[in-house]
Structure 1
Amino acid sequence: MPKKPAAKGPFFFFMLEFRRREESRGKSFPGGMDQVMREAGPHWNQLNEAEREVYKDRAKSYKELPKQNYGEKYTAQGIAFSQVEMEKQQLLKKHETIRKTISEMIQTAVLNNALEKLEVFFMSCNYFCKTSTEAFVPAEIALIKYNLELGVLDKLHELINPVRLPLGLAHEALTYSEQTHELPTPPNAMGETDFYTVLQKILSFTDYNSKPHKKLAIMTDAKEVPVIESLLSQLNDDVKLEYQFLVIPLGEFFFHLKRATEKYGLDICTFPTKTVADILLKKDAYEYTSGIACDFHEKLGNQRFCALSKVVRWSYIISDNCCLDLSIDLIAGRHLPSNADTTLCSDLYETTSKTNQSQSDGMSFVSSSELTHFTLPKIQKVQSKSAFRSVEDKNGSVIYSSRTVPKKDVKTETTEPHAPINPFYMVDGNDSVYAPSYPTKSNGTRPGTSYNPFSRQKKLDEVREPHGLDVKGKGRGTLLVTANNSFSSMLKGAGRGSGLFAGLSSVGSNSSVRLSDDEN
């Protein structure tokens, strides 16, 4: 059974009043009631008995309420259901705001035919440690301005020195720093110590005052959303102002942007869900690119965890997937790394306008552009020796199929009906002498097919029903053979292996031989 919630005393009602009073002044409590309790305790101790009497009366009135389903209900963790429901509604409202903001940004740019000029901000933040109130102690921030037409337009990078760490978190901060960004921890930290200066640089870089939006949209990785929100909240609390920011998961924006650009270049959808965008960002194809990190991480050789390197790599991923849909020429150093060969991209995706010629062999069925390595491999596959992988299409690519008819060596087939030697018809052990000729039995095969000497069915037919012979009882009775001049010796044979043929009487041109077999 879950533990019953503690009785609500005078201090509880003082905390509720203290929280309402502080929130009306603009203060927030991200740590919940635990933070309220810690901050309200010193104020409660300063009250005299007369001032506390008001809260004692409230607690007494609450205890006198009827003992039934009246009042607050709690979860197994002791959290009020009303608080859980309120947090749930806030989360749903936040997701709806993010979705609506992205939709408005992209639709407005599309209607103005300026999707490639849509400017967005990517932000990343490294931190030293995380406190018990879910607050992150910042260490480094990076911010870039980006659009599809020109790539990375501007950069902002700043190291932050928090001067001191929360009590008891020095070892945690040192361990986390050594495992990730390797920035020196306080008191040896580098960078700006004044949060007001950091906030002013962010506002100036984003041109906050000229933005028509109620909240400035900032894109970041989904895992960094709580970190960026905590940083911006700390900056606002430090300067006693409240600037409105909306932190948007980058995968959500990337997905909707790609769906919009695809409508210009393709008739098919390559991003069916947001999961594809998240996978590309998580894959991070430019993770170890050099020359895009800050000076500290470049010298250290740790570009991977640099905040500036992260935001630039995100811009490269989006450029690599969206710019070609709008036929935007990629610029090395802005859309892609400075050492990237952008001529290869232009050669592969160069469109043609040959409307009078039909070149279906070398043209894409999507946009009549020249086939690329995605649809027509430039390097022909090596021909396999397997008989089931031997068919090639007209473009030179090998078609792999288990249903392909295997190739066979064409050999000269004999027209002699008795070319295969059957010992059943041998006479005197001479394989050149056979019994009287008989027509070959048709087995339903098509003309021109090769004879299979290993066919079991044909051997069974020859044994059970010898062709051209007067057979009774399928080899178990009397076998009467019209002899010719060459029959001069004993003929031994068996029909189904149960009898012995003997008794050759005489040889003549018109004589007959009577062979009897033990009939049992």
Structure 2
Amino acid sequence: MAPKKHSGFMMFVNEWRNRNAEGRRMTLAQAVAHCGSIWEKMTVQQRGPYNSGAKDADVMERGKRERLNCHGQGVSQVDQAQREAAESLMNMKRSTERIVIDAKKSHDLENTKFVFAAFNFFTKALTTDVYVPAEFAACEYSLKEGIKSIYSTLIDPGHIIFGQGSDALHHSSTTHNLPLPPNALGENNMGKLYRNIVDYLTKCQGDQLVVFTPAENISMVKSCFQYLACEDENDCRDGGQKIQVFDIQYLLFILKKEVLDIAGLPDENINKYVTDAFFGRDFFEFTPEIGCQYHEENDRTKYCTQSMVTRWAYTFSDFMCGDLAITVKPGKHIPPKTKPNYRIIQSDTSSLAQESSFDSFYSLPGSRVKNETQSRDTSPTGSKYSVASSSYAPADHTAFTADLNEVREFPSLGRRHPSGRCTAAAGASAESERTTRAWNLPKHSRPLQKFTDNDFSVTGAGKKNQK
């Protein structure tokens, strides 16, 4: 509905009523009838101030109203939400960088502990970011020791959001396959569960509670923490804000860059897109015996939170332990039944201590990684070589340096000279032949069935036959 505009005549009526005692005793309708005859006798110059005042009032009214976007949302509110999201993202990145760089400066990056956390949920509210948790898992991880401990539990929230039983059933059947309330499994005291989670994180990290999860799950993990915290009488005011949730993919990128810097390896080919692609491949997705008992029995380990955090830890180890020459341990860095595809040959550290300028003991110049060819088929990444456990040097296969206008860049087939150049006797006819037929196949001077292998020459084939 369009806003009502101000009128110059009504501006005159209001002014006349305020200035005359007779007008104050009249109703608005009587005042309009009385001032109508006066307004008709006024000149354009006399009406001008009142018309200008009406336009000014319209401008002021438009300035007071909130502009809306195509979704009916206030523009200023949307802009403020975007600024807050950008500021939160920047603070998250700076905090992640500070954690990694401080560990590097203390020469203890390989022993720095990180906590990976994951939630499963039953359903989400339609209009707000409220998730009803169904399962939780967290693991304590470091590059040197791998997985140190795992905390995993199923959650029984007691009820789900009214009217969303069908959505919850569909989500459960297509993902984790956990039974819905009131038949849900696990802990049903949300306050007790939240205190247990906080106690576990405190033992792992101290007072600074930071967990890492994929970027697309950050809002869901935050909401689940708040859902549990609201049931805790001692912590209901904090609303779960004391547990910070950061991006695990950004951690992988920053950690990989610093590990390569410590090891003295080139890092110009490492960027956020490369590390995100490596993390997204999820090489250990179908690893058996790393999920909880329920999902192992129901063949849903891919969606098990315990399996998720374990696979993330294996991915970190596979991507970086080889750079720091850390010996991987089955069950800690790689799946329990996997044989590592390299072994560490330790150097004499006492003789190299004076020569080393590296920040990490595991990056001493004399230490090296020896590939085990007999165990390639059982590497953590399947039939492919592990990026972290081999001397991996990415190659750029997108660039083609050959000149397509030069005939010598193409294979020598038929009657072309092996060097790709025509003799002077060939003349202009040979030059035109090269431009029209790039592969220079022999002319069909006789039926194709009568051709023999001797009519086609391959560069270097004669030498191989002679050998």
For residue 65 of structure 1, report the CA deviation from its aligned partner: 10
Structure 1 segments unaligned to the other structure (5+ residues)? 7-62, 356-365, 378-400, 409-444, 446-454, 461-520
Aligned to 2:327: 329
1:145 aligns with 2:143: no
| Aligned 1:208-247 pairs, distance under 5 A | 211-213=206-208, 216-239=209-232, 240-242=236-238, 243=240, 244-247=242-245
Contact 1:350 1:370 survives alignment (8 Å): no
Structure 2 counterpart of 1:222, which letter? Answer: A
Alignment partner of 2:176: what SS? coil
**TM-score scaled by length of structure 2:** 0.61
RMSD: 3.9
1:188 aligns with 2:183: yes
Greater mean alpha carbon deviation, residues 68-77 or residues 122-131: 68-77
Alignment partner of 1:69: what SS? helix
1:173 aligns with 2:168: yes
Contact 2:325 2:369 survives alignment (8 Å): no
CA distance in 2, matches of 1:311, 1:334: 12
Aligned to 2:157: 162
**TM-score scaled by length of structure 1:** 0.55
CA distance in 2, matches of 1:285, 1:5: 60
CA distance in 1, matches of 2:369, 2:410: 29
For residue 179 of structure 1, report the CA deviation from its aligned partner: 0.9
Structure 2 segments unaligned to the other structure (5+ residues)? 5-56, 353-364, 377-401, 403-407, 418-423, 430-467
Render the CA deviation track for 1:418-469: whole Å, top value 9, x for unaligned. Answer: xxxxxxxxxxxxxxxxxxxxxxxxxxx9xxxxxxxxx9969x9xxxxxxxxx
Structure 2 counterpart of 1:96, which letter? Answer: M
Aligned to 1:83: 77
CA distance in 2, matches of 1:405, 1:206: 63
Aligned to 1:499: none
Render the CA deviation track for 1:58-111: whole Å, top value 9, x for unaligned. Answer: xxxxx9994342343222322222211211111111011111111110111111
For residue 369 of structure 1, report the CA deviation from its aligned partner: 5.7
CA distance in 2, matches of 1:367, 1:226: 46
| Aligned 1:253-272 pairs, distance under 5 A | 253-269=251-267, 272=270
CA distance in 2, matches of 1:148, 1:208: 18
1:110 aligns with 2:98: no
Aligned to 1:432: none
CA distance in 1, matches of 2:154, 2:141: 21
Render the CA deviation track for 1:371-402: whole Å, top value 9, x for unaligned. Answer: 8699xx9xxxxxxxxxxxxxxxxxxxxxxx98
Alignment partner of 1:187: what SS? coil
Aligned to 1:129: 123
Structure 1 residues 227, 278: CA separation in 2 closer, same or farther (over 3 Å shift)? Answer: same
| Aligned 1:44-443 pairs, distance under 5 A | 66-132=60-126, 133-207=128-202, 211-213=206-208, 216-239=209-232, 240-242=236-238, 243=240, 244-269=242-267, 272-342=270-340, 344-346=341-343
Structure 1 residues 108, 207: CA separation in 2 closer, same or farther (over 3 Å shift)? Answer: same
Higher helix fraction: Structure 1 or Structure 2? 2
CA distance in 2, matches of 1:368, 1:153: 25
For residue 238 of structure 1, report the CA deviation from its aligned partner: 2.2
Alignment partner of 2:231: what SS? helix
CA distance in 2, matches of 1:311, 1:4: 55
CA distance in 2, matches of 1:286, 1:85: 41
CA distance in 1, matches of 2:152, 2:144: 23
Render the CA deviation track for 1:140-193: whole Å, top value 9, x for unaligned. Answer: 010111111100011101111111121211111111111111111112111111
Contact 1:73 1:80 survives alignment (8 Å): yes
How high is the sequence identity, in percent, across the aligned residues? 24
Contact 2:113 2:204 survives alignment (8 Å): no
Alignment partner of 1:207: what SS? helix
Alignment partner of 1:137: what SS? strand
Render the CA deviation track for 1:467-513: whole Å, top value 9, x for unaligned. Answer: xxxxxxxxxxxxxxxxxxxxxxxxxxxxxxxxxxxxxxxxxxxxxxx
For residue 340 of structure 1, report the CA deviation from its aligned partner: 1.2
CA distance in 1, matches of 2:425, 2:348: 62
Structure 2 counterpart of 1:317, which letter? Answer: T
For residue 249 of structure 1, report the CA deviation from its aligned partner: 1.4
Structure 1 counterpart of 2:343, which letter? Answer: S
| Aligned 1:502-517 pairs, distance under 5 A | none
CA distance in 2, matches of 1:209, 1:156: 11
Question: For this pair of structures, how many residues does the alignment match?
Answer: 320
Contact 2:348 2:366 survives alignment (8 Å): no
Larger radius of gyration: 1
Aligned to 1:442: none
For residue 200 of structure 1, report the CA deviation from its aligned partner: 0.9
Structure 1 residues 405, 188: CA separation in 2 closer, same or farther (over 3 Å shift)? Answer: closer
CA distance in 1, matches of 2:347, 2:322: 11
